[in-house]
Amino acid sequence: MSTKNEVGIISYGAYLPQLSIKTETIALANNSTNLGICLGVDSKTVPDADEDTATFSVQAAFQAISRTKDSVKKNIQALFVGSESHPYLVKPTGTIVSAALGLGQRLAMADLQFACKAGTQALQICLAYVKSGLAEYALAIGADTAQSCPGDALEYTAGAGGAAFIVGTKDPLVTLLATTSVATDTPDFWRRPQQNYPQHAGRFSGNPAYFYHTSLATRRLLDQTGLSPGDFNYCLFHTPNFKFPASFAKEMGFTKKQMKYSLLVKKIGNLYAGSTLVGLVNILDHAKNGDKILMVSYGSGSGSDAFVWQCSSDFAQKKKLYQNLLSQQINKNLISYSQYQHLVKI
């Protein structure tokens, strides 16, 4: 799928919980090696007792809406929420979000689940709805309260948080230049019904899962657009940890400077469906007029969505309301392992 500079991001928002835990604290409690440090993660966000995917979605979307005109909210006609931790198995998160935000009843809606790429899939669908004329504006959300079994490697990286993007055609902050997707049946990560925690295939999650699909989507989009790594100001690859995206970027010829704002995982952990979208928010918080951004998500099971974005020529002027949107939320409100255990078991 490619576009003719017709559709893009009108506004955006993000939300991170105020609680965090150090990976060192987790290692000490489990009397084990700090796998977080091995994977490049120092700490991760933790949801409080009254926080879940729905509350994250509402907070992030409220930020995005508050930075637009009233006419935008009135004409949001599609809402898609991507997550692997929806509060209900049978009951949409989207209806909760819509009611909390006061959106209208003319609303195409669905909850999505494709592991860590459900958020970017929501964004693709919203872009398609707007581009096709089925909706004037659309709201895409990716959020998760990531679960992990105590003592498992995932416990060191699974964080919580999310981001929201309003998509439209009228004077966007950021324009979509191209997007593509790939998918195969590669079961590196799963959770069966009645199971409290997901399971994963260990090192199999690297190859042929993360690296294969991220590479396939990235190369396909570069071929499709005729662009090369040097044409981008910033790049962003899904961050299950620090090690994977940093290694892949280097292999593809991207520089540390291009990755400067996309490795928040070190401080907040892997936000699953919120991971790539929160990374994009951080890049947009620092981007300049005309900057090009490559964004590639990854979802276990497995698949990737890839996007090329370009900031508007007056991006800096439009973006004044967004200064330090995300960096203000990254905090040092650290909790103990016993507090952490209590919260994740609620």
* 200 a catalytic residue: no
Point out the catalytic residue in the list 200, 213, 238, 311: 238
Check 84, 86, 213, 311 and give the catalytic one: 84
Beta carbons of 269 and 45 less than 8 angstroms apart = yes
Instruction: Decide if 149 is catalytic.
Output: no
Considering the candidates 86, 116, 126, 311, report the single residue annotated as catalytic: 116
∠ Cα 294 330 173 (to 5°): 40
At a CB cut-off of 8 Å and minimum separation 6, what does 318 contact?
A: 173, 312
Residues carrying an active site annotation: 84, 116, 238
